[in-house]
Structure 1
Amino acid sequence: MSCRDIVDLISDDEAGPVDVKAVKLEPDSVGSTFLQKYNHNQTSEHRKSKTQPRRQESEENKSSNALSAGQSSNSVLEQGQSPVDDTGISSTSSICPAPLCRQFWKAGNYEDGLGSKVTFQNGKNFLHVHPMFLHSNATSHKWVFGAVAELLDNAVDEIQNGATIVIVDKTTNPRDGNPALLFQDDGGGMDPEAMRHCMSFGFSDKKLKSAIGKYGNGFKTSSMRLGADAVVFSRHVNNRTFTQSIGLLSYTFLTQTGLDRIVVPMVDYEFNTSTGTLDKLHDRERFRSNLSLMLQWSPFSSEAELLKQFDDIGSHGTKIIIYNLWFGGDGNTELDFDSDPEDIQINVDIKKKEKSITEQHIANRFHYSLRVYLSILYIRIPESFSIILRGRIVEHHNIANDLKFPEFILYRPHSGGCVEGTVITTIGFLKEAPNVNIHGFCVYHKNRLILVSVFNSKGLLSFNLSYLLM
């Protein structure tokens, strides 16, 4: 996307819908799937900027918070001088190092050798978080689809900022040809400060009570549960200030360099309306240091390749690419992209199912089919918003409609003699009963499925789907 295109985007964004002309990418490259499959749709008709100015924290609050990932070098998510010698890093490197251990449940231990000996530029004594926390934090997701749901929640929360679509798809790591996961939405995007908050622990700009996520932890737990590494691209426009930021959260980088603290390379750009160019924010050495790390540990070997990922984002939005996906105990990736070209499935034995009515029921299929799971993930979805999985819209399924003889019961839990709250529960029989021997319950919170317990004659089939603080 040229600088002239950026000027047009800013102007059009203020006037009304934006018609984004995508730049052609090479086949099978990261981002090309989005262009090939979705350029024909009418998502550009909905891309109106509804972003609100983000609340600016005082400098005193920033410096006093030990978990800040701000621009100061004395932060937990260190962004100062590169902690490794980057003199040998080449932007033409063809291999992006893979994690030392490819199985998620065995990847939590490593020895931090180099990190304890490294001196950071302008370093001071401060609290920091060890990289192993990234892994232990992600173990809250026992089920891999629960991690996918967390990333979907962030896109759904962006509906208030004008989001009309979220894409979940397989893409390819151009370094090694291995599969990667793509999440992309056309929400308000993140400015540089919001991007740092996203990469930090405990920061959240979500103030609405209806927001699903509000604890500032979902992105880290979900991305690290799906793969060892994630790169985030976000474009944001506010008051004619046009920024785009790139952040790299890489467990591979941290473990293979033996760091004893979480370091997140990040680069930011701002469009200069007077010169028609993208200006690099921050000082030259810091920018070079962070970019150098990205070119070694991300799927992209040049700054031009990194910036090319913004071509299909439009005037605002966010793209997340998760690569070095985790393997299961059988030596294959946990996620199966081959069994169904329009679905993402889990490599588990349950897929070897009997051809009975019960086994074919949605209460069983959501175990291994992401398409089925996403269809019941939310009680309701606005008509203006679509979830697209591998090129096809996910059809919403209200499980309450599967019941016959439904009854609605007011549930009033009591604790210590006080009523804690009330909720209307819907109960009934499955329409296929008694031929389908399934019973159980689903719990939704803030429109989001958080618990499913399903039973049949063989006993309990399902359990807590995902980690979500209520």
Structure 2
Amino acid sequence: MESANNSDSTNKQMEMQLSVVVSEAASYSAGAAHQSPSPDSCISQGFEGNRFSPRLATTAQGCYTAHGSSTVGFSSGNSAPLSRQFWSAGEYEDLPNTGLAHRRDGRNRLCVHPKFLHSNATSHKWAFGAIAELLDNAVDEIQNGATFIKVDKFITPHAGSLALLVQDDGGGMDPEFLRRCMSFGFSDKQASSNIGQYGNGFKTSTMRLGADVIVFTRNKKGSEVTQSVGLLSYTFLRQEGYSDIVVPAVDYSLDSSHGVLTRLHRKDRGQFFSNLSVMLKWSPFPTEAELLKNFNDIGAHGTKIIIYNLWNNDAGDTELDFESNEKDILINGAPKKAATNNVLLQVTQSHIATTLRYSLRAYCSILYLHVPAYFKIILRGSEVEHHYIARDLKYCECVKYRPQVGGKIEGELVTTIGFLKEAPFVDVHGFNIYYKNRLILPFHRVACHSGSKSRGVVGVLEANFIKPTHDKQGFERSNLYQKLEVRLKEMTNEYWGCYSHLIGYGKKVSNSSTPQAAIAYPLPLSSSSGCNIKPITVNPQMLTDNTSKSSHSSTVTPNIALLNASNTFNHGQIKSPVQAGMKRERGHEETEPLQKQARCSSTGTEVELHNCVGQRQVVDIKALMQQNREMKKDCLEQEKIQRELLFKLQELKNELEQVQQQHERLVSGLLVSNAIKMENV
């Protein structure tokens, strides 16, 4: 993260620059800001010129004029008022005399109608899915130095209406990249490393959340610093009657060493001020000074996105609820928790599998499988605590799966499967399927059984060999995906057959095939977190004995997950130690719960061992527990070392940047000094 001194210096420079910029624009923009600009003077999909000019309307609903007043609810032209409900916002009639745009050489060119902004955004059925797209962009910027992303409520000046703020301190965008971001089909991201790759996420997500979005971004390349503003406004395009998507954008060059802000004219001065006048009229910022103030808290580089004119639900309320919880953003109209004495219903209602559907904080906590310790998701001013679903499981198994097509292995994944620590008192089950670290399907149900079968069984896996849909809320129904679903269903049934008796359900087991069990405890961190603990097999006879009841029992508190790795990492099957690969027969399962043979405490960290067979076995398992305690201690030490190294790395980066800035100032001062000496000579 940039140092406080660097940020303060940038802010002071910005305050000095505002008066210079505004005074220069006064003579030109005084008249331009109050007139309807020509479409030819704006940027269509990030490129200048070649514009078709339809008839223009002059007023708009819910937007701002250049002098800061809100216009009336209907247009003086043929445009009807814009609906404030997302699913009906695309239903309007075009103005007459619209058609194909023509190039100067006489050839037709493809126009993207403003209605496409709405229809394109309908791929997001869920508002939080749209917000997740914007979070993905910040996570992709970690490689460019991003350390945080902030999501918060924003109150627009003058009108005081609600808006959504999304801001990060990544590398920012230069003028050309901003235009590509706000256009269609451009993406410089590498499919092998980044979450996004289609170049469409920004448009679909912002237009799904609100009718209009304005972007402020500052980018630094060497000693050159640029800052740009782009406006994508469905309200503007709709009310002015455009038949093509117009994206006004303005750029500035910042000389940080001298505190000078200069306008960049990509074509000419007239085009710059024409684009600027559109922004001042249709954005929440009616003057250039107010527009530029948004860069004050960005720092040396980063991006700020403000989505305004947020969509309403059927009840007339905004889809996003900022008022019910000051530390969260909720979905308006979400179901309320029912007052009940039913323990199963109480636990299920409070579980993250339920709350993630209407709580952005809950959803963000599991959105990424792993995030660097220094990267923070800040929601409503409070950091989101990362939630590892695998740590909520007990009696865990790790199962390797290698899908094959035509005899060729197409990929490999390891699934962690187990019972939720609340089981059997929770009606939740399913698999959390990630793609390149990003959650695509949370608690996806693959096994549908009547009664209690599969209840509480949850899995976590990262499947990078299948492709997600464009909204990243599902996967393409490819052959590989269908094979994966079938395997996960089989895995659920196999696991239930092996371990359901450990949480109170019974299973008739022959003497020759006693299922192997694992002690309940949250899983360790992955190797990417600095912890590299290998699984240890536990003797199943230490947990069960069907012959006689011993007069002694011992209680052991484990310190790390004991996973049945030696029997599970083989052809993706959950196997017993006695008869590997044996198929469990459904006829052996009983519907009534039997007396528990292994009882887990309410915290999920203590296991009472009943009916131990022999003192030697007790000594063996105690030795395993001691070994795991030592391994847990080593893991924590490695994590601490990793955090310290990451912190030192960030400090060194900050120091290096400060030294570079100091060097630039010294060189600049030297050049000025030499110039003065030459003049004196």
- TM-score normalised to the size of structure 2? 0.55
- Report the Cα distance in structure 1 between the residues aligned to 2:316 and 2:251, rounded to whole angstroms: 38
May I ask how many residue pairs the two structures share in their alignment?
409
* Alpha carbons 2:321, 2:330 under 8 Å: kept: yes
User: Which of the two has greater strand per residue?
Assistant: 1
Distance 2:257 2:283 in 1: 32
DSSP-derived class of the 2:237 partner? helix
Whether 2:385 is the aligned partner of 1:392: answer no
Give 2:318's aligned amino acid.
T
- After superposition, the C-alpha distances for 1:22-57 in whole angstroms (9 at most, x for unaligned) are 869xxxxxxxxxxxxxxxxxxxxxxxxxxxxxxxxx
Aligned to 2:300: 315
Change (3 A) 1:83 1:377: farther
Report Cα offsets for 1:341-395 as digits up to 9, x if no partner: 0000001242344461111111111011000000000001101110000000000
The partner residue of 1:69 within 27, 39, 45 is: 45
Q: How big is the shift at 1:111? A: 2.0
Residues 84-95 of structure 1 mapped to structure 2, 5 A cutoff: 84=56, 91-95=66-70
1:166 alignment partner in structure 2: 149
Q: Distance in 1 between matches of 2:210 and 2:97?
A: 22
Deviation at 1:417, TM superposition (A): 3.5
**Which stretch shows the higher mean deviation, 258-267 or 94-103?**
94-103
Distance 1:166 1:316 in 2: 13
Residue pairs, 1:3-402, within 5 angstroms? 18-20=6-8, 69-74=45-50, 84=56, 91-95=66-70, 100-113=82-95, 116=98, 125-207=108-190, 209-272=192-255, 276-282=259-265, 283-354=268-339, 356-402=346-392
Tell me whether 1:467 sits opposite 2:468 in the alignment: no
Distance 1:432 1:449 in 2: 22
Paired residues of 1:129 and 1:262 also in contact (CA < 8 A): yes
Q: Quick one: distance in 2 between partners of 1:139 and 1:206? A: 24
- What secondary structure is seen at the aligned counterpart in 2 of 1:224? helix
Contact 1:295 1:302 in 2 (8 A): yes
Aligned mates of 1:119, 1:417 — CA distance in 2:
52
**In structure 2, distance between residues paired with 1:227 and 1:389:** 19
User: Which shifted more, 106-115 or 259-268?
Assistant: 106-115
Q: What do residues 185-209 of structure 1 show as CA deviations (whole Å, max 9, x unaligned)?
A: 0000000000001001111122262
Q: CA deviation at 1:177?
A: 1.3
Classify the secondary structure of the residue corresponding to 2:217. Answer: strand
Corresponding residue for residue 42 of structure 1: none
**Bigger mean CA offset, 112-121 vs 381-390:** 112-121
Return closer, same or farther for 1:17/1:451 CA change in 2, 3 Å cut-off: farther
Structure 2: how far apart are the matches of 1:243 and 1:288? 18
1:274: how far off? 9.3
Deviation per CA, 1:286-339: give whole Å up to 9, x if none.
111111111111111011111010000011000000000000011111111111
Aligned to 1:20, the other structure's residue is in SS state helix
Task: Output one character per residue of 1:111-133: Cα deviation in whole Å (capped at 9) or x when no partner.
Answer: 22167289899797321211111
Tell me which moved more, 94-103 or 208-217: 94-103
Would the alpha carbon gap of residues 274 and 380 (structure 1) be closer, same or farther in structure 2, given more than 3 Å must change?
closer
Is residue 147–residue 226 contact of structure 1 (8 Å, CA) maintained in 2?
Answer: yes
Q: In structure 2, how many angstroms separate the alpha carbons of the residues matched to 1:245 and 1:370?
A: 29
Query: What one-letter code is carried by the residue in structure 1 that aligns with 2:322?
Result: F
Corresponding position of 1:445: 435
1:115 and 1:163, CA in 2 relative to 1: closer, same or farther beyond 3 A? farther
- Aligned residue for 1:211, secondary structure, equals coil
User: Is contact 1:103–1:327 with CA below 8 Å preserved after alignment?
Assistant: yes
- Retained in 1: the 8 A contact 2:399–2:415? yes
Q: Secondary structure at the match of 1:351?
A: coil
Secondary structure of 2:279's match? helix
Partner of 2:36: none
The answer to whether the 8 A contact 1:228-1:324 is kept is yes
8 A Cα contact 1:69 1:197, kept in partner: yes
CA-to-partner distance for each residue in 1:406-432, whole Å, 9 max, x for gaps? 111112223334322111111110000
402, 410, 419: which one aligns with 1:420: 410
Paired residue secondary structure (1:223): helix
What is the percentage of aligned positions where both structures have the same residue? 56
Structure 1, 138-147 or 446-455: larger mean CA deviation? 446-455
* CA distance in 2: counterparts of 1:96 and 1:157, whole angstroms: 39
The answer for unaligned runs of 5 or more in structure 1 is 1-11, 25-66
3-state secondary structure, aligned to 2:98:
helix
Q: Is the 8 A contact 2:100 2:111 kept in 1?
A: no
**Partner of 2:39 in structure 1?**
none
Going from structure 1 to structure 2, the CA distance change for 1:442 and 1:90 (only over 3 Å counts) comes to closer
Q: 1:91 to 1:121 in 2, by over 3 A?
A: farther
- 1-structure distance, mates of 2:171, 2:65: 34
Instruction: State the distance in 2 between where 1:255 and 1:150 align.
Output: 25
Question: Structure 2: which amino acid aligns with 1:108?
Answer: G
SS at match of 1:158: helix
Distance 2:245 2:272 in 1: 18
TM-score by structure 1 length?
Answer: 0.79
SS at 2:305 equivalent: strand
Could you tell me how far 1:97 is from its partner in structure 2?
7.2
Matches of 1:168 and 1:16, distance apart in 2: 21
Question: 2:393 corresponds to which residue?
Answer: 403
State the Cα RMSD in Å: 3.4
1:232 is matched by which residue type in structure 2? V
Q: Distance in 2 between matches of 1:146 and 1:115?
A: 38
Hey, what's the Cα distance between the residues in 2 that align with 1:96 and 1:168? Answer: 29
Q: Partners of 2:9 and 2:309 in 1: how far apart?
A: 31
| Code of the aligned partner of 2:331 | I
Structure 2: gaps of 5 or more residues: 13-42, 74-80, 341-345, 456-467, 477-681
Tell me, in whole angstroms, the C-alpha distance in 2 between the residues paired with 1:169 and 1:420: 41
Which amino acid letter does the alignment assign opposite residue 316 of structure 1?
Answer: H
CA contact (8 A) 2:430 2:443 kept: yes
Who wins on radius of gyration, i.e. which is larger?
2
Q: What residue identity is the alignment partner of 2:181?
A: C
